[in-house]
Amino acid sequence: MTEQIIRFGVSIEPDLLKKFDKMIKKEGYTNRSEAIRDLIRKNLIIEKNKNPEAKAIGTLTMIYDHHVRNLTDRLLDLQHDHTKEILATTHVHIDHHNCLEVLILKGKTGDIQKLADNIKALKGIKHGELVITQSSP
């Protein structure tokens, strides 16, 4: 069964529309409708993720110096303590000192956020970025 499409009008200033058209062209959209739908989906996901009990999926990407004392042991301990939330990990050796690691996470938004915060706070983590999303808004 085909999903029904509802058409509606939007009033917008010419300068803002010009900037929007430039942005969506750069991002590869072929029309304004799909770009607007994506913006709506994105904002619905952001709003849903404000609820710490909401089910979510996400990734934590981090760069760290594996030579920092006890860091790899502490990372492994945290990961073993959170096997419920961590679906998979990927580890890449960037150079002699730096590693990139990506954790694929699933669970309650609050639990995922807390785990990411605990990992990012470890001494030796140079940068960590958590992206939380939903399978549907």
Q: Does 79 reside within a domain?
A: yes
Task: Outline where DSSP puts E strands in the chain.
Answer: 55-65, 86-93, 98-108, 125-133
Q: Does 7 reside within a domain?
A: no
For the segment 53-99, what is each residue's pLDDT rounded down to a tens digit? Answer: 999 999 999 999 999 999 999 999 999 999 999 999 999 999 999 99
Verify that 66 and 123 share a domain, yes or no: yes
Considering its fold, how many domains does the chain have in total? 2
Q: Does 5 reside within a domain?
A: no
By the 10 Å C-beta count (0-12 exposed, 13-18 middle, 19+ buried), 20 is classed as middle
Verify that 91 and 122 share a domain, yes or no: yes
Verify that 59 and 112 share a domain, yes or no: yes
Q: Does residue 2 surpass a pLDDT of 80? A: no
At residue 4, φ and ψ (nearest 5 deg) are -75, 140
Two tokens at 52? Answer: 């710490």
Verify that 42 and 101 share a domain, yes or no: no
pLDDT > 70: percent of the chain: 98
Verify that 77 and 125 share a domain, yes or no: yes
Query: Which residues constitute the domain of residue 18?
Result: 14-48
| pTM of this structure | 0.82
The average pLDDT across 109-134 equals 95
CATH code: domain of residue 69? 3.30.70.1150
